[in-house]
Structure 1
Amino acid sequence: EKNSRRGFDEKAYLSSKLLKAGEDPYRQHAFNQLESDKLSSDRPIRDTRHYRCTSVRYDTDLPATSLIITFHNEARSTLLRTVKSVLNRTPPSLIQEIILVDDFSSDPEDCQLLTKIPKVKCLRNARREGLIRSRVRGAEVATADILTFLDSHCEVNSEWLQPMLQRVKEDYTRVVSPIIDVISLDNFAYLAASADLRGGFDWSLHFKWEQIPIEQKMSRTDPTQSIRTPVIAGGIFVIDKSWFNHLGKYDTQMDIWGGENFELSFRVWMCGGSLEIVPCSRVGHVFRKRHPYDFPEGNALTYIKNTKRTAEVWMDEYKQYYYEARPSAIGKSFGSVADRVEQRRKLNCKSFQWYLENVYPELKIPEKELIPGIIKQGGNCLESRAQDTTGNTLAGMGNCKGTVNNPPVTQEWIFSDPLIRQQDKCLSITSFSTGSQITLEACNQKDGRQKWKMKGSFIQHFVSGLCLENQTGRVVTNPCQAGVPGQQWELLQAT
């Protein structure tokens, strides 16, 4: 063992950084360093894969990969266990090299001493660059055709790499992730994660694990089959190096950490690739409750800057929902995105609408909360009448009854742009010509006869351009005219 690690002195490496007696074991790394230090660097972990994974066969000529692990002041015992789990549980022919990118840690030896282990290389940043620029730097020196990004507090499980390499070998545009198991931040127990989760998010671009949609679940007959995912968590994934470069690597104007997984995920899907989780690949990861290191701009501002860059480049007109969900982002600086927009244009990427329809239809457009109200002229209100002999419900005018906050059902309207709605019926013209009678019909967003817009005090029909007019109690459409009192409406909403 000692010899194969060519003069790497593990005992000396670990013992020089042990906790002082009485020191808080969580302070430096936001996990229990005492527990990590107690564990062997070669500790066995339970194989958490589905039993059918053991019988899956992989090509014998899978491509080798460069592993890129970036870190900033990682606990030595945790970093070493990450590296050794890779060396112990991966066929040597598949590991081209392990590139450690030391993002300006306090002690350069954290990284440097590990280069005594075969295949381990160390790149040290001359100043703090953050995860994103560090990963790009690692990718630029990598010599293998496939890149594997890994966090510095992980332990890989048996046969973790082969299923991911197999998927990328079959289609270089796939970007693949393992199921990410949980290593407890308190006692470092290795816990199996659920196999039917995928990555999702809300409009504020907050990442969340979510259940696979039921249709997708039903159609999965084979538990070893890949799971399509709208976004990846971002810490651990495998990607073809030339595809990574072709797509524009990462947005290197993003700072430190956060939001880069959305930017990468949108880019992969919208520019011709796909994202998936490979269930037969399992990697444990220490999930923490807080960041152990500082962000130069502060955690929240950095996350806003990074997600704002993502929204501005990739989300088209849907970015309004991002700003509605994260109003603190409005007006914050985010640098220039001109080159990323240009990159998107050059790659001829699809629209965010395409992404919503084809990749993440479960993300619903937020409905505006609609406030009911009354539509009046003097003391009279627009109302629905009883059905006439032909079964049509006509609109007409009647004395306003009740109050704005509590009108009768027949006089209560909801303006749900472009519809004017009363329960499930909507204001509709009967013909596109002047003097058309106004009825209430079953609402239909797509029906041109039901589309209206407010123009000052006018209620104008969208398609005919005519205005709603009260003619002594009857309601019709006529050419809009400023001097006609019957065309002047007041919309009062409940408070």
Structure 2
Amino acid sequence: MRRRSRLCCVKSAIAVFALLTIILFTSKWIAGPDFTNPDFYRSQNLVNLPQFAAQVFNRHPKKFEFDPNDLKDWHDEEAYQKALARKGLGEQGQPAELVNPDKEKERTMFRANGYNAMLSDQISLNRSVPDIRNPGCIHKKYLSKLPQVSIVIPFYDEHWSPLLRSCFAILNRTPPELLKEIILVDDASTKEFLGEKLEKYVSQYVPKTRIVRLPERSGLIVARLAGAKVATADILIFFDSHVEPNYNWLPPLIDPIARNPRACVCPFIDVIAYNTFEYRSQDEGARGAFDWRFYYKRLPLLKEDLEDKTKPFRSPIMAGGLFAIGRDFFWELGGYDEGLDIWGGEQYELSFKIWMCGGEMLDAPCSRVGHIYRGPGGHLSNPRTNDFLHKNYKRVAEVWMDEYKEYLYMREPNRYAKLDAGDLTKQKALREKLQCKSFKWFMEEIAFDLPKKYPPIEPPDYASGAIRSDTSNNLCIDTLNVGHRQEVGLYPCASDLVYPQSNQYWALSWHKDLRLKMKADCLDVSESYRNAPVVLYECHLQGGNQLWQYDVENKWLVHGSGKSCLEADLKNHKVYVNRCDPANLKMKWSFGHVNRTALAELKINKHQVSEEEGL
């Protein structure tokens, strides 16, 4: 009897325990993970965040409530006027320089960061910037009811002052009721001051800001996903770790998302000079694009885009570093492909998904954000030894580009043929599930003018290979491994003049520019004075500073309008542009290969244009 009673008690206890376990498990499943608990993220395998996200956020984007007639001027006029009155080093975004600096220390800090970090440390963390918006933006109103934002800023070994200046610029120029949080994601930085010192400083002086730390170096893509995972606001904004938003930057960026939760919006990206920290405009707008090596390019604005220069316009491709997107929409698209590693290709993948899967992408002219484009040095260490970049490209192409992927592959057939893109099952299933359109639709409806600027099958180069000075003892034009806006020069020629190494492999392309064959950099001359320097600059396809012709008879490389020619300074191993002179033998150059047929056609076309202009 006692044995039977004990057995009943044991069975009852087991039943109760099982019931409690089921209730506990079910309640957790219903409630979902606690996204606000940092311990949860420390326990997760961050590499699989996109897969986890796809399971958790498997729902349609939230629709925001708004009255299209209820508009508001979001400017903080008092703060705006105080900022415009500030004076000091670098204030109003003026170019700055140090007085009697320790030059060696300055150079060392510059090489470590790719910008003048020593100068940055002397500029206020709360510095003002120039209001370079279109005048129409100043009086423009936006929805009075806008959703809150979480701003995700990944960083790796960023210098102290630009990182903190990014945070203070956001806090100073963002309506506090719209800013829910700033999430700094540390991609396993090695600099000591980015550890405990940063934690203490942020906790004391940088409100609404917290730090998420990755356990190992994982790259930009995983870092962004880690930040997006912990974000709690309805809209995600991704920034780089060296930015300075301009006045009233946020409302024009998120107003289109409040109206259409499947919109992704990018700000105009202004330039913060890496040497002087001058804040200036990059341009007044262009549409994002790509060439068939997956270099980011830009297309001119359309006629309708120019009718109202304060209105957001459609753009095929994002630059990738700075953009806003609804949190639900981001996760409906699967975030980023979990197989993309470190950086590269993610902006194309997300852009294609947005357009092909029912969204739209806009650039907002009234939202401007300054960004430091690094100069020489400052290249971040790479934790990988494999070719992750082209593997990323191949993953994007295999999933999203359909038959157009072959145009990418034909640029570097040997490289792509050897690469294994990895398992694409989940990405292809996502495309099928969302019933996304074809890449042909994207090219015809969204990027319809891209093939005019960047044809899938390019016309042949007019000339290519090494460019050798005819009067030298075998000296060729060489990049000298310089960065943008740095002068190129002369260096002993490669043994193979037709197919030289990348530093000397130039092409006089059908765009009529002199470009590096393996990169998107061109020879640029910004001035037409005597001994004008020749620098390396990103190719822009707009002629002007980058317009070149080759005169086969005189062996001249003719710049611009036709009055200036490239000249070799053999003593100093430099090149300049001076007025063309038939008696100057140092203006004679030979290419490794010359396409005389193409050059002959170019002369015919030039003659025809001259006759038409004469009419």
Give the shorter-chain TM-score range. Answer: 0.5 to 0.7
Alignment equivalent of 2:353, drawn from 259, 267, 277: 267
Equivalent residues of 2:150, 2:232 under 8 A apart? yes
User: Paired residue for 2:318?
Assistant: 232
Partner of 1:64: 148
Cα distance in structure 2, aligned partners of 1:22 and 1:225:
42
Matches within 5 A, 1:83-232: 83-106=167-190, 107=192, 108-109=195-196, 111-113=198-200, 114-116=202-204, 117-212=206-301, 216-218=302-304, 220-232=306-318
Choose the corresponding residue for 1:347, options 431, 434, 437.
434
Given residue 424 of structure 2, which amino acid in structure 1 is its aligned partner? Answer: V
Alpha-carbon deviations, 1:376-421, whole Å to 9, x = none?
xxxxxxxxxxxxxxxxxxxxxxxxxxxxxxxxxxxxxxxxxxxxxx
Shift of 1:333: 2.6
Q: Structure 2, unaligned stretches of length 5 or more? A: 1-101, 461-615
Match of 2:420 among 311, 318, 333: 333
SS at match of 1:346: helix
SS in 2 for 1:208: strand
1:254-281 deviations in whole A, cap 9, x for unaligned? 1111110001000100000011100000
Cross-structure match for 1:34: 118
Partner of residue 76 from structure 1, selected from 140, 149, 160: 160
| Cα deviations by residue, 1:63-114 (Å, 9 ceiling, x for unpaired) | 1101100000100100000000000001111110101101101132364232
Aligned-residue sequence identity (percent) comes to 41
Is contact 2:217–2:383 with CA below 8 Å preserved after alignment? no
TM-score (norm 1): 0.68
Over 3 Å counting, the alpha-carbon distance change for 1:32 and 1:22 in structure 2 is closer
Residue 443 of structure 2 corresponds to residue 356 of structure 1 = yes
Corresponding letter in the other structure for 2:203: T
In 2, are the aligned partners of 1:71 and 1:151 still within 8 Å (CA)? yes
Structure 1: stretches of 5+ with no match in the other structure: 1-17, 371-495
2:180 and 2:233 in contact (8 A); partners too: yes
CA distance, structure 2, for counterparts of residue 63 and residue 179 of structure 1: 21
Q: 1:150–1:110: structure 2 CA closer, same or farther, 3 Å change rule?
A: farther
What one-letter code is carried by the residue in structure 2 that aligns with 1:61? K
Q: Which amino acid aligns with 1:45?
A: V
Q: How far has the Cα of 1:134 moved from its partner?
A: 1.0
Q: Quick one: structure 1 residues 33 and 368, their matched pair in 2 at CA, closer, same or farther if it must change by over 3 Å?
A: closer
Match of 2:404 in 1: 318
Q: How many residues align?
A: 350
TM-score by length of 2: 0.55
1:63–1:286 distance in 2 versus 1, CA, 3 Å: same
Paired residues of 2:169 and 2:245 also in contact (CA < 8 A):
yes
* Closer, same or farther: CA 295–219 of 1 in aligned 2, 3 Å: closer
1:305 aligns with 2:394: no
Q: CA deviation at 1:250?
A: 0.6
Displacement, 1:193?
Answer: 2.1
Query: Structure 2: which amino acid aligns with 1:224?
Result: T
Relative to structure 1, the CA distance from residue 234 to residue 291 in structure 2 (aligned partners, 3 Å threshold; closer, same or farther) is farther
Q: Secondary structure of the residue that 2:110 maps to in structure 1?
A: coil
Cα distance 1:32–1:136, how it changes in 2: closer, same or farther (>3 A)?
A: same
CA RMSD of aligned residues (A): 2.1
Note closer, same or farther for the CA distance 1:324–1:197 as it changes in structure 2 (3 Å cut): same
**Contact 1:68–1:98 at 8 Å: present in 2 too?**
yes
2:379 counterpart residue number:
292
* Cα distance in structure 2, aligned partners of 1:155 and 1:369: 41
Instruction: Please give the alpha-carbon distance, in whole angstroms, between the structure 2 residues aligned to 1:119 and 1:335.
Output: 39
- Would you say 1:258 and 2:344 are equivalent positions? yes
Give the whole-Å Cα distance in 2 for the aligned partners of 1:76 and 1:51: 34
1:37 deviates by 1.3
Q: 2: distance between equivalents of 1:228 and 1:218?
A: 10
1:176 Cα offset (Å): 0.2
- What's the CA shift for 1:331? 1.5
Q: For 1:21 and 1:182, how far apart are their aligned partners in 2?
A: 25
Q: CA deviation at 1:303?
A: 1.7
Q: How far, CA to CA, are the matches of 1:329 and 1:367 in structure 2? A: 17
Correspondence 1:403-418 to 2 at 5 A = none
What is the CA deviation profile of residues 267-313 of structure 1, one whole-angstrom value per residue up to 9, with x for unaligned ones?
10000001110000000001124662122235x92221111111111
Q: Distance in 2 between matches of 1:206 and 1:157?
A: 27
Equivalent residue runs for 1:474-485 within 5 Å: none
**Structure 1 Cα separation of the partners of residues 157 and 253 of structure 2:** 29
1:366 CA drift (Å): 2.9
Q: Distance in 2 between matches of 1:45 and 1:368?
A: 42
d(CA) in 1 for partners of 2:305, 2:250: 26
Measure the CA separation in 1 of the matches of 2:145 and 2:234: 13
Counterpart mapping for 1:434-445 below 5 A: none
Could you tell me how far 1:330 is from its partner in structure 2? 2.5
Q: Which aligned pairs between 1:464-475 and structure 2 lie closer than 5 A?
A: none
How much has 1:19 moved relative to structure 2?
A: 11
CA contact (8 A) 2:106 2:118 kept: no
Amino acid at match of 2:291: D
Q: CA offset at residue 28 of structure 1?
A: 1.5
Query: Taking structure 1 as reference, are residues 169 and 148 closer, same or farther at Cα in structure 2, changes over 3 Å only?
Result: same
**Given residue 30 of structure 1, which amino acid in structure 2 is its aligned partner?**
G
